[in-house]
Amino acid sequence: MKIDVNQLAEHLAHTPFQVEGVYRYARNPGVPHADYTDSFPGFVFPLTGKVQFEFNGTPYIFSPGKVVHGGAKMKLAQKMFGKTDWEYILVLYRICNSELAEPNFSHQHFELSTGPSPRLIELIMRLWHVYNQRGGISMFQTEMLFRDVLNEALVCVDNRQNSCESHTLFERVSNYIHEYYYQSLTIASLAEQHNVNRNRLSYIFRRHAGMGPAEYLLKYRINAAQEMLFTSDAPVQQIAQTVGMADPFYFSRVFKKQCGISPTEYREKFINNPC
């Protein structure tokens, strides 16, 4: 089930809950699995290996880089992948406010893709160790650490989603530039065309290309001009217009800045030294 991480975070922020148990499970063919989940909802944090569990008929692969949530008393089924070893930590929790009877995330099964996170693994292992100690301080630390674990998981998911979305947007805009570089493109028109804020567009290009969209467009135009200078006899002014730069003087200045020599010198160099 796909989940909105911001809605989940808001739910956790407004819902009082406490840890009911922290358990560590590993592959053991001699121990049969249960037919139903526990009487409390819980988060599964895979540590190693791979195993499949079904919650009410919906399959989830437990493997590192994921966190799986299951509701209370859900029908459970297990599928092993050969002799592959696996290990995970299960954290059961209880909703403290009995008035929260309406359906919420606690009654659902879903998966969070956190990606690799050494800090998340470190926190979940600390949680397991602290839970198995005695005393009021360990109980307090258990509650605090579980919230730290959830915070790290949610941040990982949010960062991962933003990264995927920004890369998709970068590919979409950069491909558009590659196809229509010869037109009268501006950063404002690119932002409007792809329904994105100019500052956001600039951030995405600097993140994925190491330069802003204006510089990216300019470099692509100059690269296209280099190819035309080498493969055609068209005048420099015509090539400038063909790559979307109407001012030939500006074109020559930018070309020399990027290539170290003027367009005419560039053409002569390759005509005289084709290899």
In this model, does residue 63 exceed pLDDT 70? yes
Which of 43, 51, 52, 163 has its CA nearest to residue 111?
Answer: 43
In this model, does residue 125 exceed pLDDT 90? yes
Cα 182 from chain centre:
33
- Going from N- to C-terminal start, the domains of the chain cover 5-161, 181-275
Distance CA 246, CA 267 (A): 20
Mean pLDDT of the 209-238 span? 92
Query: Could you read off the pLDDT of 67-87 as tens digits, one per residue?
Result: 999 998 899 888 887 777 889
pLDDT of 273 reads 59
Which of the pair, 161 or 209, is modelled with greater confidence?
209
Distance CA 153, CA 197 (A): 28
Query: Could you read off the pLDDT of 201-218 as tens digits, one per residue?
Result: 998 999 889 999 999 999
Say if residues 254 and 219 touch (Cβ distance below 8 Å). Answer: no
Mean pLDDT of the 176-205 span? 91
pLDDT of 267 reads 87
Q: Which fold has domain 5-161?
A: Jelly Rolls (2.60.120)
Task: Compute the mean pLDDT over every residue in the chain, rounded to the nearest whole number.
Answer: 88
Say if residues 95 and 15 touch (Cβ distance below 8 Å). Answer: yes
CATH of 181-275, one of 1.10.10.60, 1.20.120.1200, 3.40.47.10, 3.40.50.2020: 1.10.10.60
pLDDT of 101 reads 47
pLDDT of 271 reads 66
